[in-house]
Every structure is written in structure tokens, then in C-alpha cells.
Amino acid sequence: MISGITIYVLWFREMKRFIRAKSRIVGALAMPLFFMAFLGMGFNRMAIPGMPRDVNYMRFLLPGMIGMSLLFSSTFAGLSVLWDREFGFLKEIMVAPVSRVSIVLGRIAGGITTAMLQSLAILLISMVLGFAIDGAGGLLLAMLFMVLIATTFIGLGLVFASKMRDMQGFSIVMNFVIFPIFFLSGAVYPLKNLPAPVRILSYADPLTYGVDGLRGSLIGVSLWPLHFTLAVMAAFALLMVFLGAYFFEKSESV
């Protein structure tokens, strides 16, 4: 049976850990902002093939950087599972009289909130610097896409964390997983510029649809209709939550 109290307690614990880890907050914001600063300034005045004529590169890049922030912060949320296993906290909650589904949902809720806070901070900074959003409806729709992206990759992180025992090994493996997902998503360049075989791979990448949905919501430019990308991301999110819960249920606490 799903316990709302369990979900809340684990969510609140993740919030406390996030607030106390100042370096984590700074680190999560630094990489996307560096990408925006250097790539944005470097390519902003260039004519990039495949780019819409009425959209400059900085506006094109921002949704990709939000997707990047969500990808990194959400996937590495699985690291907290290994950390809790290392110090015995995971064993304590696994033997408690609560369902493991509640534990998974609590971790996902905490991961979604922290990932959303980081992404909204990037969006807020960009708005202060002059980035314009296509209306309040676009912002709300973009937040929905952020939730779905975070949910998808938190589930992916839980899958890997449930099958691994070593924190250093988890970080190495996830880097091999994250960077292909990021570069195949079209976060920093139009997908039309990719070779046809590589483009086919990008269509199997959940972040491709998430970034496209963010672009459609925030700047009004997208490859696919928003209802299509929303449905695809919802399907990916449900699938990864199911897989994350399944593998977490099968994992050992020690």
C-alpha cells in the first residue's frame, strides 16, 4: 500500500540535503550557464544550417541547457541510493513496514523537485538577461515537460543504482550513458544536421522529445507538434518509473 507519509518524509529529506549542499547547487547551475555563455556567444552571430531564420542561437540553446540540467541532476539522483546503502540508511527504510513503491515515489518526488528548482533557476537567470517566453501558457507547459524529463531520468538512475554497489563505478557508467543521450537530443544543434543513421538513434532518445517540447513551449519552435512530444514524454516517464520501481523492488539493501 502506498504511504503518503513515507513519500513526504523521503521528499523532505531530499530537500534538506539539497539546501545544505551549497556546492551541489552551484555545480548544477555552472555547467549549463557556461555552455550558454561560451557556445551562445561563439555561435550567436553565425548562420547555422537547420536553424529557424527568426530564432537566434542563444534562444535556440536555452531549452537544450534546461534539458541538460534536468538530465544530469535527475540521473545522478540514483547516486543517493548508493550513498544510503553505503551508510546503512537504505537497509533501515527497506525493513520498515512500508511499501517499496512508496520509497521509490518519495525518492522520485525529491529528485523532481530538486531538478525543477535548478532548471527554473537557469530559466530565471536567462529571463533577467533578456530571454523572452511565449506567454504564461508556454511557461506552464514547459514546466510540465520539465517534470516529465526529470521523472524519466530519475527512473533511469534508479535502474542503474539498483543494479550497482559502487558509487565511483556508478558515476563512470552514468557518464557513458548521459553524454550520448545529451548529444543525440539536439540540445546544442538542430537534429537536421545529423547524418541519417545517427538521427534514427536520436529518435529513440527520450531527451530529444523533451528538448523539442521545451523549445516549442518557450520559443514556439519545434520539430513535432507539442501534443505528440507531450504524449511521448509521458509514455517514457511512466515506463521509467515502472522500471525503476521494479528494479528497486528486486534490489538488496546491503
Q: Which residue has the higher pLDDT, 80 or 95?
A: 80
pLDDT of residue 165: 73
Q: Which residue has the higher pLDDT, 7 or 146?
A: 146
**Mean pLDDT across 12-34:** 75
Q: What is the pLDDT of residues 194-211, one digit of tens each?
A: 888 888 999 999 999 999
**Mean pLDDT across 35-63:** 73
pLDDT of residue 137: 83
Amino acid at 112: I
21-30, 68-77, 163-172: which has the highest mean pLDDT? 68-77
Q: pLDDT class for 22, splitting at 50, 70, 90? A: low
**CA 116 – CA 122 distance, rounded (Å):** 10
Furthest-apart CA pair in the chain: how many Å? Answer: 60
pLDDT of residue 254: 46
Which residue do the cell numbers 518509473 mark? 241
Give residue limits of the domains in the chain: 4-250
Q: pLDDT class for 159, splitting at 50, 70, 90? A: confident
**CA 84 – CA 252 distance, rounded (Å):** 12
Q: pLDDT class for 67, splitting at 50, 70, 90? A: very high
Q: How many CB atoms are closer than 10 A to CB 168?
A: 8
Helix (H, G, I), strand (E, B) or coil at 72: helix
**In 119-168, which ranges are E strands?**
none
pLDDT of residue 128: 77
Q: What is the pLDDT of residues 90-121, one digit of tens each?
A: 666 766 667 777 778 888 888 899 888 888 88
pLDDT at residue 88 above 70? Answer: no
Q: Which long-range contacts (CB under 8 A, 24 or more apart) does 31-34 make?
A: 31/68, 31/69, 31/72, 32/65, 32/66, 32/68, 32/69, 32/122, 33/65, 33/122, 33/125
Amino acid at 188: V
Q: Using CB atoms within 10 Å of the CB of residue 85, give its burial: 0 to 12 exposed, 13 to 18 middle, 19+ buried.
A: buried
